[in-house]
Structure 1
Amino acid sequence: MRAEDQWESDRLDVDTYLERLGITGPLDPTPGTLRLLHRAHVTTIPFENLDVVLGRGVDLDLGAMQAKLLESRRGGYCYEHNLLFAALLERLGYRVTRLHARPDLQYPKPLPRTHMALRVELEDGTAYLADVGFGDSGPLDPVPFADGEVSEQAGWTYRLTEEPDRAQPWCLHLRRGDEWFPVYRFTLEAHHRIDAVVANHFISTHQRSPFVGRVFLERIAEQWRLNLNNRTLTLRHADGGREESSVDDDRFGDVLADRFGIVLNDSELKSVLAVLPD
């Protein structure tokens, strides 16, 4: 098997994907097309872990991911988002390297290297970091793959930096006020599908995973970022404003539907509510 065949990008239903994003062709593999697709994906498909909460696990088979995120109009987490997006980009003629990253987030101890991001290269050799699966700290648009180059994105500002002496020399930063907040660190090593399967098993089943035992959803728009962490709903604006509220049982299903576009049946909603703290 050729290395690129392991991802089975040829199985992707491109038309269904583009319909989900509300995009029509032609879509030549240019920087403008990459930006269009990236922004459409992150503002359309939410980040969510509800299948973990419901005990279903997360299936990284391409057919299962597109059935869930595209046909059933659900969301997912980084592997689902970025594996689907990588398949779309490859079908459109981009060269894609799937990378594994270690979230930083100024956490006091090393976090596991369980995030997936993408290096996307154009025919002229220009490259971008694409990441449609990091939720409310992730970029709205692709970030130029160049040390220190700043990317302004509708009031949100990102940059990549390279520190060759570090084990993970590349770092994605988000500017918060006057400071650069480290989002995650990574190397340029290409990974295989089995690497994603192993990391996905940890993140969807291990008791120390941030997505096991709690409800977690995020939604990105151009001017705001929405986060639901169990019952706490937080809205952050590009200008630094912040609003926070608590969601009770009676409103929970409506918040999922109205704010995140996810509709659960009565049985699913009951199971999700059972996980929430009082």
Structure 2
Amino acid sequence: MPRTRPDVGFGACGPPAPMRLKDGESVRRDAWVHTLAREPGPTPGTPGPLVLRCLRQDGWYDLYAIGTEPRFPVDLTVTSHFTSTHPLSPFHGRMLVQRSTPGRRIVLHNLELTTLHTDLTSEKRRVRPGELPLLLASEFGVHLDAADAAALVARYA
């Protein structure tokens, strides 16, 4: 089984392995480095959010913050509903597939294929619609039946 990232929906800069939710926790794979840092709270002496950061060519980049405020099931329900159904969601009506391996990350966003290398360089190329079924199978392990492959090619043609 191929090694996969813990959060397949986070994006190409997500951590390559699970991390403990602890201030100062770091994970490294090749040149990809991620760390968690506790930010100060709104008042002196109170804890603020844990911030997940990744190291890029231009320095540390904040990915997201894990707040200290309570979360309720409705919060997750609303967020999930928005990301999967709302027309303004970056995940609605688009193809976004990615895979991370020890040597690279590869991302297919509609017809743009991006390969991120461990030395932090990247390559981009435009994919022809007819390439999609074979590319999905060979690079991402996604095998479509003939009808789905034809529908995908037709959608992007």
TM-score, normalisation: structure 1: 0.49
Q: CA deviation at 1:270?
A: 3.5
Which residue identity lines up with residue 181 of structure 1 in the other structure?
A: Y
> Among residues 152, 166, 174, which one is paired with 2:28 in the alignment?
152
Identify if the C-alpha distance between structure 1 residues 153 and 190 changes in structure 2 by more than 3 Å, giving closer, same or farther.
Answer: farther
**For residue 213 of structure 1, what is the aligned residue in structure 2?**
93
**Which secondary structure state, in structure 1, belongs to the residue aligned with residue 12 of structure 2?**
helix
Which residue identity lines up with residue 132 of structure 1 in the other structure?
A: D
Which residue identity lines up with residue 153 of structure 1 in the other structure?
A: R
Report whether the alignment pairs 1:271 with 2:146.
no
Report whether the alignment pairs 1:262 with 2:131.
no
Identify if the C-alpha distance between structure 1 residues 187 and 254 changes in structure 2 by more than 3 Å, giving closer, same or farther.
Answer: same
**Higher relative helix content:** 1
Which residue identity lines up with residue 33 of structure 2 in the other structure?
A: T
Report whether the alignment pairs 1:173 with 2:53.
yes
**For residue 62 of structure 1, what is the aligned residue in structure 2?**
none
Q: CA deviation at 1:145?
A: 3.2
After superposition, what is the alpha-carbon deviation per residue over 1:43-65, rounded to whole angstroms, capped at 9, x for unaligned? Answer: xxxxxxxxxxxxxxxxxxxxxxx
Give structure 1 stretches of 5+ with no counterpart: 1-20, 23-39, 43-130
Partners of 1:150 and 1:157 within 8 A in 2: yes
**Which secondary structure state, in structure 2, belongs to the residue aligned with residue 234 of structure 1?**
strand
Cα RMSD of the aligned pairs, angstroms, is 2.5
After superposition, what is the alpha-carbon deviation per residue over 1:155-210, rounded to whole angstroms, capped at 9, x for unaligned? Answer: 210111121336x7221000002510111112145645443332111101101100
Partners of 1:155 and 1:223 within 8 A in 2: no
Equivalent residue runs for 1:136-147 within 5 Å: 136-147=12-23
**For residue 52 of structure 1, what is the aligned residue in structure 2?**
none
Which residue identity lines up with residue 200 of structure 1 in the other structure?
A: S
**Which secondary structure state, in structure 2, belongs to the residue aligned with residue 259 of structure 1?**
helix
Q: CA deviation at 1:224?
A: 0.6
Give distance in 2, aligned partners of 1:188 and 1:266.
48
Partners of 1:225 and 1:235 within 8 A in 2: yes
Report whether the alignment pairs 1:251 with 2:131.
yes
**For residue 228 of structure 1, what is the aligned residue in structure 2?**
108
Give distance in 1, aligned partners of 2:129 and 2:29.
36
Equivalent residue runs for 1:1-278 within 5 Å: 21=1, 40-42=3-5, 131-133=6-8, 134-165=10-41, 169-189=49-69, 191-276=71-156
Identify if the C-alpha distance between structure 1 residues 269 and 189 changes in structure 2 by more than 3 Å, giving closer, same or farther.
Answer: farther
After superposition, what is the alpha-carbon deviation per residue over 1:190-239, rounded to whole angstroms, capped at 9, x for unaligned? Answer: 64544333211110110110011211111101121101111010101010
After superposition, what is the alpha-carbon deviation per residue over 1:24-73, rounded to whole angstroms, capped at 9, x for unaligned? Answer: xxxxxxxxxxxxxxxx442xxxxxxxxxxxxxxxxxxxxxxxxxxxxxxx
Q: CA deviation at 1:240?
A: 1.6
Which residue identity lines up with residue 170 of structure 1 in the other structure?
A: L
Partners of 2:130 and 2:153 within 8 A in 1: no
Give distance in 2, aligned partners of 1:231 and 1:175.
27
Identify if the C-alpha distance between structure 1 residues 275 and 207 changes in structure 2 by more than 3 Å, giving closer, same or farther.
Answer: farther
Q: Matched residue pairs, number?
A: 152
**Which secondary structure state, in structure 2, belongs to the residue aligned with residue 195 of structure 1?**
helix
Give structure 2 stretches of 5+ with no counterpart: 43-47
Which residue identity lines up with residue 173 of structure 1 in the other structure?
A: R
**Higher relative strand content:** 2
TM-score, normalisation: structure 2: 0.81
